[in-house]
Amino acid sequence: MEAASKPEPGSSRKRTWIRVGLSVAILFHLFVIGIAPNRNTAVGQWVDPVIGRYISALELAANWNFFSPEPGTPVYIEWELENRSGEVYSKGMLPEFESPFAMRERQNRRMTAARFISMSDERLVKVMSTYLCSHSPGVYSIRLWSSYLVIPSPAEIASGKKTKPGMDALSRRLVAHHFCEGHES
């Protein structure tokens, strides 16, 4: 009969710490999955400094829409380009407010891209400032806004107070005033 092998001293303690570590990691991940779709709530805003980068790194903030193929409530990225003297010489919006395309598919792609870019302020600044600073001659600084269309309620439409929302229905939030060092012409 063979003698039962005894575990090495400390190996059960090591396994216990591994189990505890994995359990904490799984609980943290489950917590993040529960908070990610609700980042705009009070609790979501409170814990976002701790879990925001984790959410962005794993792309957990994806915005799903059950009314496909429409991309949902439009999100816009607006910008103003300023020259060295501080004068605004160009303005733009992604996507354009009125679709310049005959078919809706391209506009839907642009709306989806704008929504994805604007999910993280850090991403919005990096993507848009890099593009605008390198493709706009004479740019010294850029102001970036994240905007979304406020859809009127059915009661407001039924009462005649509001109709199809226009540019005046945009809710704007200044994200950054970025300076293009080394890119100006």
Length of the chain (residues): 185
Report the percent of the chain where pLDDT is more than 70.
Answer: 79
Phi, psi of 82 (to 5 degrees): -120, 145
Residue range 44-67, pLDDT digits in tens? 778 888 888 888 888 787 655 444
> Tokens in use for 37?
């779709």
Mean pLDDT across the chain, nearest whole number? 81
Three-state SS sequence of 134-178:
HHCCCCCEEEEEEEEECCCCHHHHHHCCCCCCCHHHEEEEEEEEE
Claim: this prediction has a pTM higher than 0.85 = no
Q: Are 174 and 123 in contact (CB under 8 A)?
A: no
Nearest to 144 by CA among 79, 76, 75: 79
- DSSP H or E segment with residue 32: helix 11-35
Residue range 119-154, pLDDT digits in tens? 888 999 999 999 999 988 889 999 999 988 777 777
Residue 39: partners with Cβ closer than 8 Å, 6 or more residues away: 45, 48, 52, 55, 61
Domain parsing of the chain, residue ranges: 11-57, 75-179
Q: How far apart are CA 78 and CA 90, in angstroms?
A: 11
